Amino acid sequence: MPKMPGFSDEQKAADWFATHDTAPYMKEMEEAHEQIPVTRTHPTKKPVGLRIRSDYLEAVKQVAEKKGIPYQTLIQMWLVERLRQEAPELLKH
Instruction: Count how many Cα atoms sit within 13 Å of the Cα of residue 56 in the half-sphere of its side chain.
Output: 6
Three-class DSSP category at 55: helix
pLDDT digits (tens, 9 = 90+) for 33-59: 898 888 888 888 899 999 999 999 999
User: Which amino acid is located at 14 in the chain?
Assistant: A
Cα 39 to Cα 36, 42, 45: the distances in Å are: 10, 10, 18
* CA angle at 38 for the pair 30 and 69, rounded to the nearest 5°: 105
pLDDT digits (tens, 9 = 90+) for 24-39: 888 888 888 898 888 8
CB under 8 Å to 5, separation ≥6 — which residues?
16
pLDDT digits (tens, 9 = 90+) for 67-81: 999 999 999 999 999
Q: Among 38, 7, 33, which residue's Cα sits nearest to residue 20?
A: 7
**Phi, psi torsion values for 47, nearest 5 degrees:** -70, 145
